[in-house]
Amino acid sequence: MEMMFLISILKSSIVASVLILFLLLIFKFTNNIFSAKTRYFIWIIVILSLIIPARPKANSTLITVNPALITNNSIKKIETLEQNNEEKNIYASDNISSDSAQTKNNKIHISPIFLVWFIIAISTFSYRIIKYKKFRKFVERWGYKPDDKLLKLFDEVKSSLGLQNKNIALIKCPHIKTPMLIGVIKQVIVIPENYINYDEAELIFKHELTHYIHKDLFINLLSIIAISIHWFNPIIYICFFNIQTDCEAYCDEDVLSTKDTDYRRFYGELIISMIEYGNNSNTALSTCFYYKKNNIKRRLVSIMNTKKSLKKLSTIAITTVLGITLSSNFLISFANSNYIGVEKAKSIALQDAGLKSADVTFTEAKLDNSNKNKDYDIEFISGDKKYDYDIDAISGKILEKSSKIKKQPVSTKTTNQKKSTNQNTENKKNVNKTTSNVNTTKDIGKENAKFIAIKDAGVKASDITFIKVKLDIKKTGNSEYDIEFHDNTMEYEYEIDAVSGKILEKSIEPLDD
């Protein structure tokens, strides 16, 4: 079950990676055709696709990946060797305790691959959250209330944006290099104490409060979850950087939507002036008015761009990306992404045989990749019977099944008679020996043998056609009835002891067309 979960994550990671690289190329060579808002919304769709791997099911796909290519072959060889050794040990001795079989079947197994992924995912998420909490404590400890003039300006900007009733605090804090919004539940705007220009402060407040309106810190949290889940994929980190860049550009776009070129120039100069203060460290659950030097050029170009992007083109772009993410199951799939799994196949076989896991010992349980339509080979032993099932890997339908009694070695009497050199005498002894071994006990008869087979098959006599009903006398002297019949869909073969009526062997297969 856990491997199926990992496969779905890996599939979503592959599709998202291809999409991210494609989007980066498109955004790079189309200059500013797409608005920052459009780009930001597209990145949000990608992030959501990484967190929610569930997609509509597809009957056929463009690309099918064989999971054997990403599976450790050495582990497979060890498992096969263990199965072979186990089967040999079972046939070598019949003295296997049911307690040990039950303990084996009830053992909880967690895939080492899943365990490694889970530990690193939790560690990645925890590291970022702990880092944020430490930063938050630092702000709470060293931060202080700004002067009344600045607070009044802050309240005025809040009112102009319709946020007068929102509980958003303003704090000055030393060692903070650039203004930022922090927190998810209790949000605070933090500004540096080194400089204050009230004209610039108004712009900064508008920018950070726009982050609040856009719910950007919640998107930031989703990005952290996506990185934690897909920690193994470096392309996701590239996506995280771009979503932060376009998040800031989207805020710039909103703040400057009604402003002229002079105002935009002043806004750009404000961002450039912050280069001298250096970069803030990348703290989780925070936005930065100025984050990294290498995204300044792209951001300034966006600020000075007064052309409005085509809404129709933006809608098409967002719809296309959404369609690709939802239809990823039609693009790529793993060969066993919809398989029922070995445990389910074992359960189906046990239910059909009317047995419990504690009563059997499995000798083989694996996916057979040799056929076009994959199926599970399930073999197990209960008492003196061996059961063999072929179960469809997707539907769980029993394709073929058989059961037979494990044949015990025939004991022979040893005599110390002298060998005769006369060939005729030796032949006579052999004939007498064979004749004396024939079981002359009255057999159950053909009709009773047919009745036993029909009853075991669970079919009606009126619905079947007999192909063969034959008494077969073996070399050992034992006699058996070979019975073959079929209905409209299945073919049945039975070997029944002619004296006791015990079913020695049976086979049920789909009827050939």
Is residue 17 in some structural domain? yes
- 256, 345: one domain: no
Q: How far apart are CA 236 and CA 259, in angstroms?
A: 35
Q: How far apart are CA 399 and CA 390, in angstroms?
A: 5
Q: What is the pLDDT of residue 334?
A: 53
- 315, 189: one domain: yes
Q: Band of the pLDDT at 339, cuts 50, 70, 90?
A: confident
Question: Mean pLDDT lowest for which of 43-57, 171-185, 271-285, 339-353?
Answer: 271-285
Task: Name residues whose C-beta falls within 8 Å of residue 256's C-beta, 6 or more positions apart in sequence.
Answer: 263, 264, 267, 303
Is residue 462 in some structural domain? yes
Question: Model confidence over 178-219: pLDDT tens digits?
Answer: 889 999 888 999 998 876 677 788 889 999 999 999 999 999
Question: Mean pLDDT lowest for which of 11-25, 73-87, 238-252, 476-490?
Answer: 73-87
| Strand boundaries in 293-441, DSSP class E | 332-334, 361-368, 375-382, 385-392, 398-405
| Strand boundaries in 174-215, DSSP class E | 180-182, 188-192
Q: How far apart are CA 94 and CA 247, in angstroms?
A: 69
Is residue 94 in some structural domain? no
Question: Model confidence over 8-64: pLDDT tens digits?
Answer: 888 889 889 999 999 999 888 876 788 889 999 999 999 999 998 766 555 444 555
Burial 345-366 (b: 16+ CB within 10 A, else e): bbbbbbeebebebebbbbbbbe
Enter the tokens of residue 300. Answer: 């300034």
- 238, 361: one domain: no
Q: What is the pLDDT of residue 132?
A: 92
Q: What is the pLDDT of residue 208?
A: 93
Is residue 75 in some structural domain? no
Q: Which of 6, 3, 72 is nearest to 230 (CA)?
A: 6
* DSSP 8-state assignment for residue 465: E
Mean pLDDT, range 479-486, rounded to an integer = 91
Q: In this prediction, what percent of the chain has a pLDDT beyond 90?
A: 32
Q: Band of the pLDDT at 420, cuts 50, 70, 90?
A: very low
- The residue with greater pLDDT, 135 or 177, is 135
Decide which of 390, 408, 426 is a domain's last residue.
Answer: 408
Is residue 26 in some structural domain? yes
Is residue 9 in some structural domain? yes
Length of the chain: 513
What is the pTM for the complete model shown?
0.60
- 287, 156: one domain: yes
Question: Model confidence over 397-413: pLDDT tens digits?
Answer: 998 888 887 655 444 44
Is residue 292 in some structural domain? yes
Inform me whether the pLDDT recorded for 429 exceeds 90.
no
Residue with tokens 């010992």: 361
- The residue with greater pLDDT, 502 or 100, is 502
- 35, 129: one domain: yes
Q: Band of the pLDDT at 423, cuts 50, 70, 90?
A: very low
Enter the tokens of residue 42. Answer: 């597209």
**What is the H or E stretch that residue 318 is in?**
helix 311-326
Bridging pattern class, strands 479-486 and 490-497: antiparallel
- The residue with greater pLDDT, 489 or 227, is 227
Mean pLDDT, range 221-233, rounded to an integer = 95
Q: What is the pLDDT of residue 184?
A: 85
- 251, 382: one domain: no
* Host domain of residue 365: 339-408
Q: How far apart are CA 288 and CA 189, in angstroms?
A: 10
Decide if 481 contacts 496 (C-beta within 8 A). Answer: yes
Q: How far apart are CA 153 and CA 157, in angstroms?
A: 6
User: How far are the Cα atoms of 117, 455, 501 from residue 494, in angstroms, in the given order?
Assistant: 50, 12, 11
- 54, 194: one domain: yes
- 384, 271: one domain: no
- 451, 504: one domain: yes
Evaluated on CA atoms 400, 404, 409, 410, the torsion sign reads: negative
Q: What is the pLDDT of residue 394?
A: 83
User: How far are the Cα atoms of 79, 113, 117 from residue 72, in angstroms, in the given order?
Assistant: 11, 10, 15
Q: How far apart are CA 64 and CA 43, in angstroms?
A: 26
- 304, 380: one domain: no
The CATH number of the domain holding residue 377 is 3.10.450.40
Q: What is the pLDDT of residue 47?
A: 93
Backbone angles phi, psi at 368, to 5 degrees: -95, 110
User: How far are the Cα atoms of 101, 430, 490 from residue 457, in angstroms, in the given order?
Assistant: 29, 40, 10
- 358, 325: one domain: no
- 197, 327: one domain: yes
Mean pLDDT, range 304-330, rounded to an integer = 74
Please give the tally of structural domains in the chain.
Answer: 3
Q: How far apart are CA 200 and CA 192, in angstroms?
A: 13
Radius of gyration of the chain (CA): 38
Decide which of 286, 303, 331 is a domain's last residue.
Answer: 331
- The residue with greater pLDDT, 279 or 142, is 142
Q: How far apart are CA 293 and CA 245, in angstroms?
A: 11
Is residue 211 in some structural domain? yes
Enter the tokens of residue 465. Answer: 């056609």
Inform me whether the pLDDT recorded for 278 exceeds 60.
no
Q: What is the pLDDT of residue 212?
A: 95
